[in-house]
Amino acid sequence: MGARLQAVGLEKEYGAAMAVDGVDLDARPGEFVSLLGPSGCGKTTSLRLIAGLERPDAGRITIDGRDVTDVPPQRRGLGMVFQQYALFPNLNAYENIAFALRVRRLPKAEVERRVAELLAVVHLEDAAGRYPHQLSGGMQQRVALARALAAEPPLLLLDEPLSALDAAIRDELRTELRRLQRALELTVIYVTHDQAEAMAISDRIVVMERGKVNQVGSPQELYDRPATRFAAGFIGASNRRLTTVELVAGHPTIRWGDARLPIARNGPLPPGSTVMAAWRPEAATLTDAGNAASALHGRIELITFLGPITRLDVRVPGDDEPVLVDLVSTAAAHLQTGQSVAVSIPPDAIRIYA
Amino acid sequence: MAVLARQPAGARRWGQIVRAVLIAAVVLYLVLPLFSTVLFSLATAWSKTVLPEGYTLNAYRESFADPQIVRGIQRSLTATLATLLVGLALVVPALLYVHLRAPHFKRWLEFLAIVPWALPGVVLALAVIRTYISPYNVSRPAVLVLTYTLVSLPFMFRAIDAALSAVDLRTLVEAAQTLGAGWGEIGRRVILPNIAAGMLSASLLVAALASGEYVIARLLGGTGWKTFALYQAEAQFTDGRVAAALAVLGFGFTWVVSMALIAVAGRRGQAGPVMNK
């Protein structure tokens, strides 16, 4: 069973820059938590603080209630997988996996049993005798994963483990990692800059920006209700514009190009205030051009077939860039480039950020 | 290939002949003196004939029978070994520190390591005598070893630095830490095995340098602590054949060291790049 990880008020300064600035984390036992953000947002530093590879300037870290802030990494009992695998080049796959067990001076039979088990878990039974340079990137990362799991850590830390791999292997390993995490009920902290990867694999995502936690939520929550401009821009595709709120017949609207779109009335939105409006491409529908006064009227500039969905780039008068509209491909089959369309967006699908 | 294919067969053959002649000339130039020295060290008499009149191992026997020369060999080996130990003890920890904790210091280390090499041996030896021997009467062999260490720093530094740079040592150490290894285990299981080849090449280079060095040994060791190279030079004035035998022995030692170095470097080359960057 995985451990509970709690971090409170973590801070780490490099020179004049705050790499981590007051980060709180709480991962429940068996939970898969991703730290997501662009490079330099402090996600890797946070992970290194948890691992004990860096010392925080402020804040505390506890694992199952035990304060480990001042415990050196070798005594935290965690597993860690690095972006560049970090396999020991002088040891073959078997010995790499056995490393943690040998350090703990386990009996030979126990080491053999455990390594054989782990080689089977990562499907590398035939590669036990091969050295890191004789293994592909994907195989090296499997060995690194098995090595990190050898001592049965209650908490597994992964620092962009898939980013150096080809797309196909990345998907395969991601699925395997998730399956393994579920089976072992491991608590996992996973660092990535790839929002699609974080969405696919996590129970919860911690979005980070400039050393701070921006938003925490399930993939679904983050996708449906990004709480900040940053989260709205970072997660999934969206149409975003800086615009102003105007009251039309008592109802709040926003200007979008030359058109006005009604928005839901949630929270105080003083007329005239500048806001960022965002909506997902799949939230829009095409309506009959005649009876849609509040829709965006425009011309299809580009049709991109993406398999199950088809993406339209629609040029709207007065708007600087085309809006994106995702339709189920069967519903978009009859559309043609240059065609005039009316794009209707439900008011409650438009999110407004002050 | 296409260009070669268009060349007429005659031109191609000419090219091959010119190449063969050039290579043969270079080999002759390099090998002939050595071959002559070996022959001379084995000759009974060699004055009126193209090849020696007879062959004997007397010069070698005499060399090994002379207790002074044997002592010279012992001293050279002692100085070499001591230089290696001091050099490794200085360079390995310094480079580990720089690679693991302070990469920005590497430029300074590189600069410092090259300084002694930029100074002519005579200048270096006189400076060391003035600083340590004249005022404080520090033991000459000790100063000789320390000077050899200084001179061999660039070799030590480069070879071990190359080994350290070939692996991402910092991440490897961190990986070992997260796997529960303390510093003792990390040194034994991670650091040493990964820089052993570098340490070995450094040691072989330094051994080749220190074992046959003359200028510094002459100025620092002087008559009180003569090394092999000094006896070798002296022998030229007493018995040419013994001098030739000693030269062959010195060359043999350097050759063995060089071959060992090539073998080690070759094996390391086969192991290949170990981290996918």
Kindly state whether B260 is in contact with chain A, defined as any CB-CB distance less than 8 angstroms: no
Any idea where the domains of chain B sit in the sequence?
A: 2-42, 66-271
Exposed / middle / buried, residue A125 (Cβ in 10 Å: 0-12, 13-18, 19+):
exposed
CB interface of B with A, residues 131-160, below 8 Å: none
Higher pLDDT, B8 or A18: A18
What residues of A are in contact with residue B194 (Cβ under 8 Å)?
88-90
Residue B156 distance to chain A (closest CA, Å): 22
Q: Is residue A18's pLDDT more than 50?
A: yes
Q: Which of B194, B273, B275 sits opposite A84 (nearest CB)?
A: B275
pLDDT at B1: 46
Tens digit of pLDDT for each residue in A280-320? 999 999 987 665 667 899 999 999 999 999 999 999 998 98
Share of chain B above pLDDT 70, in %: 92
Going from the C-alpha of B121 to that of each of A172, B137, B138, B218, the distances in angstroms are 62, 20, 19, 11
**Residue A296 — φ and ψ, nearest 5°?**
-90, 125
Tens digit of pLDDT for each residue in B122-135? 888 888 888 888 78
CB-CB neighbours of A308 under 10 Å: 9
Kindly state whether A132 is in contact with chain B, defined as any CB-CB distance less than 8 angstroms: yes
Amino acid B73 reads: I
- CB under 8 Å, gap of 24 or more: what pairs does A13-16 form? A13/A57
Q: Is residue B275's pLDDT more than 50?
A: no
Q: Which of A75, A140, A157 sits opposite B276 (nearest CB)?
A: A140
CATH of domain A237-353: 2.40.50.100
Residue B173 distance to chain A (closest CA, Å): 9
What's the CATH number of domain A5-233, 3.10.105.10, 3.30.2020.10, 3.10.20.30, 3.40.50.300? 3.40.50.300
Residue of chain B minimizing CA distance to A156: B178
Q: Is residue A259's pLDDT more than 70?
A: yes
Where would I find the H helices in chain A?
A: 43-51, 93-103, 108-121, 137-149, 167-184, 195-201, 219-224, 229-234, 329-332
pLDDT at A291: 56
Any idea where the domains of chain A sit in the sequence?
A: 5-233, 237-353
Q: Do A164 and B272 make contact, defined as CB atoms within 8 angstroms? A: no
Q: Do B178 and A53 make contact, defined as CB atoms within 8 angstroms? A: yes
Tens digit of pLDDT for each residue in A209-258? 999 999 999 999 999 989 999 998 888 899 999 998 888 888 888 989 88
Strands A285-287 and A274-279 come out as unpaired
DSSP string for residues in A2-56? PPPEEEEEEEEEETTEEEEEEEEEEE-TT-EEEEE-STTSSHHHHHHHHHTSS--
What average pLDDT does this structure show over A173-192?
A: 93
Q: Is residue A190's pLDDT more than 50?
A: yes
Mean pLDDT of chain A: 91
What's the CATH number of domain B66-271, 1.20.970.10, 3.40.190.170, 3.30.56.10, 1.10.3720.10? 1.10.3720.10
pLDDT at A273: 83
pLDDT at B255: 83
Q: Which of A74, A85, A88 sits opposite B177 (nearest CB)?
A: A74
Decide if A217 contacts A226 (C-beta within 8 A): no
Kindly state whether B184 is in contact with chain A, defined as any CB-CB distance less than 8 angstroms: no
CA gap A72, B183 in Å, rounded: 11
CA gap A212, A206 in Å, rounded: 10
* Residue B159, phi-psi category: left (phi > 0), alpha (psi -120 to 50), beta (remainder): alpha
What average pLDDT does this structure show over B186-190?
A: 92
